[in-house]
Amino acid sequence: MLSHVRRTLPSGWYYEAAHHHRELERIWWNRWLCVAHQSEWPATGSYRLAHIGDQQILITRAASGELHAFHNTCRHRGSLLCETASGQFRQQRIVCPFHAWTYSLEGELTGTPRKPETGDFRPESYPLYRVGLQTWAGGEVDIPALIAFGNQVVTEDARVCELNQKGLHSRRHEHGILAPQEYDVLAFDNWVLTQLGEPVQE
């Protein structure tokens, strides 16, 4: 129970585009984020998309068993590589639907339909743009995968260390997905109401 009246957050924080962008830069694009359990990439070639703000992240499982994360855009003309939320790369490769630039599951450019005319083109110079990725608590298939923007080289975030100290690390084998379900939710913009285009003052 509150002992005295406290002011609420400024109403603009719920609808101003500038504040939304500040939150993305300071929180969502600057922290490790849990995107899914590794079990949601069951086999080589499995992929999922993660949407963070206005960014789409493509996460694949390579033949080595490792997960890799990239921006979901081709290095040629910036076309989306995948439009479905999840699936399987049957040929164990990522092919851009626009001009068929082809990448390995590790994000390396492996082929183009036509050889560039310039003699200085090097495929190794055009991999997919990577996003930092690590797995929490080891390499088991039933643990979360974490992503972070900016190619951060971090072994364990402070929050992950805190979870480990609370004993969750030692119980990681108990974590898993039993029956995944997805729902479409009709959500209003937090608690902000609008009337004739103007925010209602509380």
pLDDT band at residue 110 under the 50/70/90 scheme: very high
- Reduced to 3 states (helix: H, G, I; strand: E, B; else coil), residue 53 is coil
Quick check: is 144 in a domain? yes
Evaluate whether residue 176 is within a structural domain.
Answer: no
- Name the DSSP letter for residue 139: S
| Interval 155-164: pLDDT, tens | 445 555 555 5
In a domain, 145, yes or no: yes
What would the mean pLDDT of 163-172 be, rounded to a whole number? Answer: 51
Coil, strand, or helix at residue 48?
strand
**8 A C-beta contact, residue 189 and residue 16:** no
Can you tell me whether residue 40 is helix, strand or coil?
A: helix
Confidence bin at 117 (pLDDT 50/70/90): confident
Contact of 170 with 202, CB cutoff 8 Å = no
The mean pLDDT value for 7-23 works out to 89
Residue 147 lies in a domain: yes
Widest pairwise Cα distance in the chain: 73
Q: Within the chain, where are the H helices?
A: 17-23, 158-165
The enclosing domain of 147 has a CATH number of: 2.102.10.10
* Number of folded domains that form the chain: 1
Question: What domain range includes position 56?
Answer: 33-170
pLDDT tens for 45-88 read 999 999 888 889 999 999 999 999 999 999 999 999 999 999 99
Residue 175 belongs to some domain of the structure: no
14 found inside a domain? no
Q: Is residue 157 situated within a structural domain?
A: yes
Q: What pTM was computed for the model?
A: 0.74
Residue 186 lies in a domain: no
